[in-house]
Structure 1
Amino acid sequence: MPTVPSPRAHPGPTASPAVADEVVDLHALGAHLALDLSGLPVEVAAAFRRAWQHCLDPRAGGADPAEEVGAGAFVVAERFGEALPPGDEDAPARMLMRATQGITKALIAAQAGRVLMLHAGALCDPTTGAAVVFVAPGGTGKTTLSRTFGTSLAYLTDETVAVTADGRILPYRKPLSIRRDPHRGLKDEVPAAQLGLLAPRAEPWVAGVVVIRRDPAMVGVAVEPMDVLDAIVTLAPETSSLPLLARPLNRLAELGEATGGFRLLRYAEAADLEPVIREITGRAR
């Protein structure tokens, strides 16, 4: 009796990868941004939520939610959807890194002409809000200082400090951008809590502004007071949308006057700056 061949199983339709369909509201720099994660793989959308966890509370941006500036919507897949090629394990981190840059630009654009914005990091006393603002170009020490002192002082930002006319800081508690080892031009976006950094418990205000310059040949710290003209020449390139402010140069000069003057700090290691940082964050308002 001939053997009857068993019927072949026909595979069903291939399931499509699960994608997210959500919008996450970010609150930072006194602004509100709708971060649209629709169309991203669910695990990538979850990575965005983890990275930006400190900007999800409506109180996180430093302004009354009713008074927040609208920063529009940032549709991640629309901008960077092509950045997730299959098989590239670094693609999600690269997308997060690029999106952080885009989110920062969107928030800055929303506040242009409203507040003084410095390319700087900031830490404050958690209970008094007295903050040190450290100004420097990208990649020259702001994130390292934030990590070094953020376990005892509160982390406010490692990227952009927004200062209101009355000296308050509108926090931008973005994920910290940590270079990979080996570097390969890639950074991981890491939330402050994962690094053990503190959150402020009081409204932050500017107690002092310093310009930082790392010099591996330094021994200790060199503290150089800056006159108003030198300070303006140094700080102006490290601002965003400065010409859109009313009396922009006066705003810079008045900030220095209100905080005891700008200072230039030359140092070798972040830990060397502790006495200066403690002195500033210990000031009374």
Structure 2
Amino acid sequence: MSHQTDPALLDALDALTVTAIGCRVVVGLVGLDAGQRADLATSWAWCEPVLERRPRSECDAVAVLRGDGDDDAPAGADSDAHADASALVVADALDQLTETVTTVVTQLAIDQRRDDLLLLHAGGVADPVTGAVVAYVAPSGHGKTTASRALGRTLGYVTDETVAVDDDGLVVRYPKPLSVRGPAAPGASRPKAQVSPDAAGLRRAPDGPLTLARVVLLDRDPAATEVTVGPIGLAEAAARLFPQISYLGARARPLRRLQALLERTGGLLVVRYAEATTLEPAVRELLAVSAPAATPGGEGPGEATFGLDAHRASPGAPGPTHGGGVLVATAVDDWVADAGSVVVLHRDSLRTLSGIGVAVWHAARAGRTLDESVAAVVREHGLPGDGPEAVARARELVLAAVAELVAAGLVRQR
């Protein structure tokens, strides 16, 4: 690498500054000529791009395009000279560099907004008049950008990557370049082209506030003969959304915030379809319902109370006894109840408890003994059969549930 293109030796860099999820992100550019820098800025045209010289210390990231014969990473890339840049991007080809710049800008913005926004890995479009937004969630490579290209021609393009929403249901727009994968030879891959919304023929979202109206999961099925939309419960919704939310556990009571958002937007829906070009009527129908009024943010729903005496009594249930050791619930990040199940977030792991596991976990939260927990389970679910052996069988089932909860790190015995 020649010293002329080594960012570690430069006091100032050509830089691109863009707005991403409400943050200004500065990327130093090394090895790009004026035309390449202008093309990069054009692809970010809807994110308030500015090309200018910036001190290297003000760059959130530095992107280096290596020239022919530059086989090594920039000198100083791993030295203290780069300590003031939070990310270094080095690429041999321009399309590879522009794709990585998009990824880095998005991640830097997510890092900055992790404490105050719910960050869904989703595309989004808005009603051009009301500003109501449908967020469509999917893993990478499962149709978000394709859906955005199809829907954004008549509805307002919000983003193809990250739908960011606050506790009041307001969406922070991020109309980044669309990351479009072109054709490649079998078994090969190629960088995604970064296509400006203008070049894709998309429509701008309205200038006013954008409000989240619906959250859907994209489920592309080539065999589908029509577009179908159906709801799923909170427990399944949390499990399916969890991998698609950035830094969910970074905020207080994250599951209850998610629960409140889903309740405000009518619950999570699954949209099954064959081709993105068929989605518009279903999305317009979802948007036709008035956007829910934003509600003030707060600490979320109050914690549910639990009392053993409140459980349904079953004939023949043994009364509380003392012994068998005390069960103690481990402190968790958050939990919510849903139709007989409990969803628990603990150390960045999401678990759904059901059946007798719910009663055992609540008993552990109340500091009950093992025998008291057995009695609580029997009162809630009844005995597993008749006769004296049924009581012994109930205890075996509770012991098995306790073992699972202990293995999951949710309960301990003392």
Q: Smaller-chain TM-score range?
A: 0.7 to 0.9
> What is the aligned partner in structure 1 of residue 121 from structure 2?
119
1:49 paired residue among 36, 41, 44: 41
**What's the CA shift for 1:23?**
2.5
Residue type matched to 1:173 in 2? P
1:76 aligns with 2:76: no
**What's the CA shift for 1:264?**
0.9
The C-alpha deviation readout for 1:224-258, integer Å capped at 9, x for no partner, is 21111111111111100000011111111111110
Aligned mates of 1:153, 1:146 — CA distance in 2? 9
Aligned mates of 1:36, 1:47 — CA distance in 2? 15
> What is the aligned partner in structure 2 of residue 256 from structure 1?
262
1:193 paired residue among 181, 191, 198: 198
- Residue-pair matches, total: 250
1:206 aligns with 2:212: yes
Residue type matched to 2:20 in 1? A
**Higher relative CO (CA 8 A, sep ≥ 6), structure 1 or 2?**
1
1:23 aligns with 2:15: yes
Aligned mates of 1:21, 1:239 — CA distance in 2? 34
CA contact (8 A) 2:151 2:279 kept: no
Aligned mates of 1:57, 1:180 — CA distance in 2? 25
CA contact (8 A) 1:220 1:267 kept: yes
CA contact (8 A) 1:125 1:281 kept: yes
2:27 paired residue among 30, 35, 47: 35
> What is the aligned partner in structure 1 of residue 380 from structure 2?
none
Structure 2 CA distance for partners of 1:155 and 1:55, relative to 1, 3 Å: same
1:58-137 aligned at under 5 Å gives the runs 73-77=60-64, 79-81=88-90, 83-84=91-92, 91-137=93-139
Structure 2 CA distance for partners of 1:72 and 1:31, relative to 1, 3 Å: farther
Structure 2 residue runs without a partner (length 5+): 6-11, 51-57, 65-76, 78-87, 292-414
1:171 aligns with 2:158: no
Structure 1 residue runs without a partner (length 5+): 1-15, 59-70, 85-90
CA contact (8 A) 1:130 1:205 kept: yes
Aligned mates of 2:173, 2:141 — CA distance in 1? 20
**What's the CA shift for 1:72?**
6.3
CA contact (8 A) 1:28 1:170 kept: no
Q: Give SS of 2:89's match.
A: helix
> What is the aligned partner in structure 1 of residue 244 from structure 2?
238
Aligned mates of 2:132, 2:140 — CA distance in 1? 24
Aligned mates of 2:154, 2:254 — CA distance in 1? 34
Residue type matched to 2:198 in 1? A
CA contact (8 A) 1:148 1:270 kept: yes
1:266 paired residue among 272, 286, 297: 272
**What's the CA shift for 1:39?**
4.6
TM-score (norm 2): 0.57
Larger deviation, residues 124-133 vs 273-282: 273-282
| Percent of aligned pairs sharing the same letter | 38
Residue type matched to 2:210 in 1? P
CA contact (8 A) 1:24 1:56 kept: no
Structure 2 CA distance for partners of 1:236 and 1:269, relative to 1, 3 Å: same
CA contact (8 A) 2:28 2:59 kept: no
Aligned mates of 1:74, 1:239 — CA distance in 2? 24
Greater Rg over alpha carbons, structure: 2
> What is the aligned partner in structure 2 of residue 159 from structure 1?
161
CA contact (8 A) 2:177 2:194 kept: yes
CA contact (8 A) 1:33 1:107 kept: yes
Aligned mates of 2:224, 2:263 — CA distance in 1? 28
1:139 paired residue among 141, 158, 171: 141
**What's the CA shift for 1:38?**
4.6
> What is the aligned partner in structure 2 of residue 150 from structure 1?
152
Structure 2 CA distance for partners of 1:123 and 1:182, relative to 1, 3 Å: same
Residue type matched to 2:18 in 1? L
> What is the aligned partner in structure 1 of residue 328 from structure 2?
none
> What is the aligned partner in structure 2 of residue 226 from structure 1?
232
Larger deviation, residues 170-179 vs 35-44: 35-44
